Each structure stands twice: as C-alpha cells, then as structure tokens.
Structure 1
C-alpha cells in the first residue's frame, strides 16, 4: 500500500514538473515558425469592423536584425495567407485553433495586405463576410491568449 501511494505521489509530482502553459509552449516552439526572437518582439492585435490588424514590433527600436526578420516573415505570411495557407499558425497553435478552418476554407473572401512599420511590420485582414469577420476575431483572440506576455491588444 505504501509503495502504491509513493508511486502515485511521484506521478503527480512529475506531471506537475513537466506541465506547461499554452503560453510557455508557444514561446518555446516559436523558433520553428518565426525567424525572429519572441523575447525581443511583441505581437499587437487590433480587431476592426472589417477584420483586424496584426503588428509584430521589435521591443527595442534599434534592433535592426529583428526588424528585418519580422518584415521578411510577415511578407512571406501575407502571401501564404492570401492563398489560404495558415500552416504556420496551425503548427504553433494547433490545427483546431479558433477561426483557422474558416480562414483556410475561403481565402478569396479575405484581403490580406502587408506593410512595413518603423519598428517592424503589420498584416491587415479585411472581409465583408460576417462569418469570416468572426473567424478573424476568434483567431486574433486565440493568439492573444496563447502568446501571453509576448502579445497585447489595441
């Protein structure tokens, strides 16, 4: 009996040691999807009446290498998203991420545009389809939640 209790206690201690939050998992896996360092950047999400704006900014304005990597990545993602390829967010957040299936299924109904900012870059998502507008907002909300301290809403 004592051995069983010890084994059970050891199981729970080990499970607690290896447990991680979704924010920790996203932060640790980010290098598989994004070339820049999460700790040196911040993701900013703003939901709009027609979609939303996602900015990725260097935390320090003088981080030229991070700014270059942010711009390269978001430019590439804009092209992929325009064709319904959301494989990078699916890799990082999971294929069941809220809003993702709807965005993948109807890329022609969402205009994705890229623009540079002094401290990084941004993607704008626009649609007149209420279902896709909701999908964009749900997708942004999931990213805000899972990026934790590496993200903020505007």
Structure 2
C-alpha cells in the first residue's frame, strides 16, 4: 500500500493548486462585483441626468410650483383620476395655475392631444399611443377642487382602461422623483 509521507510532494502541491484556484475565483468575483457596481453607478448617473431633464421639461409645461404641489394618479375600475393640489390651502396663486393647467389638459386629452406629457416624459411612455388613438372612446371630466383640480378619465373599453392604468403607473414613477410633485 502506498501511503503519503512527508516527502510526498503531490499532496502539498494539490493544496497549493487549490489555493491558487480559490484565489483566482475570489479575484474574478471581486472584478465582477466591481464591474456591476460601476455599471450601476453609471446607469444611476444617466438616470439622474434623465431625471434632471424631465424636471426641466416639467417646469416648462406645468406653470405651478412643483415643489409646492402634489400630483397623483389613481386607478379606478373604469379609468382613473389625475389630481394636482397645492400643499397649502391659502396658496391661491398655485391653485389658480393648477386649475388653468388641468382644464386645458382635459380639453387636449379629449382630442387625443398628449403633447404636454410627451414634452415631459417622451414619446415612449407606456400606454401613450393607445390613449392618443383611443381618445374618442375615453371621457375626460375636469373638476375644480378647493386646493387644485382633477381630471377623471372613464371608458367602457377595457383595453383602453388598461392602457390608461399603464400610463398612470409610468406617470406615478416619474412624478415620484424629487422636484416632480409626486404624491402616491
């Protein structure tokens, strides 16, 4: 029977080889983690740049102070409600601007004109094309509120309601960013 002895060099070499292999795996994992971290950081920087551009476009389209208001999008079974309210009930200036803006938006949406949201969020916003094409099957009702206004969207077309819900989800995501008047 051949048993390893202290002069048998095959066993220590195998351990050293194992150590080198393990060190190589650890190094590869560290490099991979670093690459992922770098990719996430540069992606985050790109997202920050896009967010800043979106806020800049929003300020041009929405005349009220986005930091003094809350902009929400609530889905309902047959449509949804877009609502903008001022944080302060005594903020008559922003309340008036909100009401003027949403009144105009409701009229435009009824005609399939979504140019203001496109100017802020871009043309690739989910649900947008369906809403533009289906404007005649979607009702948009404007209503003044004591601290702002809302647009209630309704439709009997389930595919159009689904498109509105998708659009609301994208709006909610975008408006939740700092400086965009997010609420829910």
Q: Common fold, TM-score beyond 0.5? A: yes
Q: Highest CA radius of gyration, 1 or 2?
A: 2
- In the other structure, the counterpart of 2:174 is 146
- Asked if 2 retains the 8 angstrom alpha-carbon contact of 1:27 and 1:147, the reply is no
SS at 1:54's partner residue?
A: strand
Distance 1:17 1:110 in 2: 36
Q: What's the TM-score once normalised by structure 1's chain length? A: 0.84
Which deviates further from its counterpart, 21-30 or 31-40? 21-30
SS at 1:44's partner residue?
A: strand
Change (3 A) 1:135 1:21: farther
- In the other structure, the counterpart of 2:103 is 75
- In the other structure, the counterpart of 1:9 is none
Question: What's the C-alpha RMSD, in Å, of the aligned pairs?
Answer: 1.9
- Asked if 2 retains the 8 angstrom alpha-carbon contact of 1:78 and 1:112, the reply is yes
Structure 2 unaligned residues grouped into runs of 5+: 1-38
Structure 1 unaligned residues grouped into runs of 5+: 1-11
Distance 2:44 2:139 in 1: 44
- In the other structure, the counterpart of 1:86 is 114
The ranges of structure 1 where at least 4 consecutive aligned residues each deviate by more than 4 angstroms after the TM superposition are 15-18
- Asked if 2 retains the 8 angstrom alpha-carbon contact of 1:67 and 1:119, the reply is yes
Distance 1:16 1:145 in 2: 17
- In the other structure, the counterpart of 2:150 is 122
Shift of 1:32: 1.4
SS at 2:183's partner residue?
A: strand
Which has a greater percent of strand? 1
Shift of 1:28: 2.6
Report the number of matched residues: 140
- In the other structure, the counterpart of 1:7 is none
- In the other structure, the counterpart of 1:100 is 128
Shift of 1:25: 3.2
- In the other structure, the counterpart of 1:38 is 66
RCO comparison, higher one (Cα < 8 Å, 6+): 1
